[in-house]
Amino acid sequence: MAYYNNPANLQYYDYSYTADNSFNTQSRAAGFYDEPLHEPLSQGWLAAFSTSGYPGEPSLLEELEINFGHIKQKTTHVLNPFKHVDVHIMDDTDMAGPILFCLLFSTFLSLHGRSHFGYIYGIALLGSLSLHFVLRLMSAKNLFFTRTVSVLGYSLLPLVVIAFFKNIFTFNGIAGYALAALACIWCTYAASAMFVGILQVNNMRFLVAYPIALFYGVFAVITVFSK
């Protein structure tokens, strides 16, 4: 006990920070701390509208699953429904195109004098749910609801064009009814072709097309008789 109580036996060890200081100095001289972890982002109010990020980071459009290349490919297929359908064309099931076309359709009809947003979105939702249930009964393949909505939304494009021209020309005649019917057939043909390719039910083309024609027929009636 006397050994531990004797202050003379206490030994203090001097610790020098010269090694650490020299390491820090050398590291700073070598540039380890001078390089930022990431490249600085652009400054200014325009940067708030930019979709760029840090290097190696996915862009905002990729995080939102918006691919303009896929939107262009699917839109081109709807405009040319006789083209061979790729069975993987709807694998990504993006919703940007359908939402855009549905919004344009409602906007063009609203320019004619009355808002139809509630009717169009309600019919689109109920119709998509009904068609999804019917199409799942026709095939053993797994069909996601987002894929059904994506196909139906992209195939609405011909009726979107008719809704646009309704603000320029009158559709209260035989010619207007014929154009609306042609657009409805166009939408039905494009959508049924994609569903047949996705579900692999080539022998059920007309059975698939019938409920789809009823779905687009409602939008055609709204387009022609909206005031």
Query: What is the domain partition of the chain in residue ranges?
Result: 12-64, 67-225
The SS3 assignment for 85 reads coil
**pLDDT of amino acid 6:** 53
Residues 6+ apart with CB under 8 A from 94: 65, 66, 67, 70, 71, 150
pLDDT at 179 over 60: yes
Q: Based on the number of CB atoms within 10 Å of its own CB, is 146 exposed (0-12), middle (13-18) or buried (19 or more)?
A: middle
Q: Is the pTM of this model over 0.75?
A: no
pLDDT at 187 over 70: yes
Residue found by looking up tokens 């199409």 in the block:
135
pLDDT, greater one: 53 or 81:
81
Here the tokens at position 201 are 């039910």
**pLDDT of amino acid 28:** 46
Q: Residue 50's Cα: distance from chain center in Å?
A: 19
In Å, how far are 15, 16, 96, 107, 146 from 10, measured between CA atoms? 16, 19, 76, 88, 77
Going by C-alpha positions, the residue among 196, 189, 162 that lies closest to residue 87 is 196
Residue found by looking up tokens 């026709």 in the block:
138
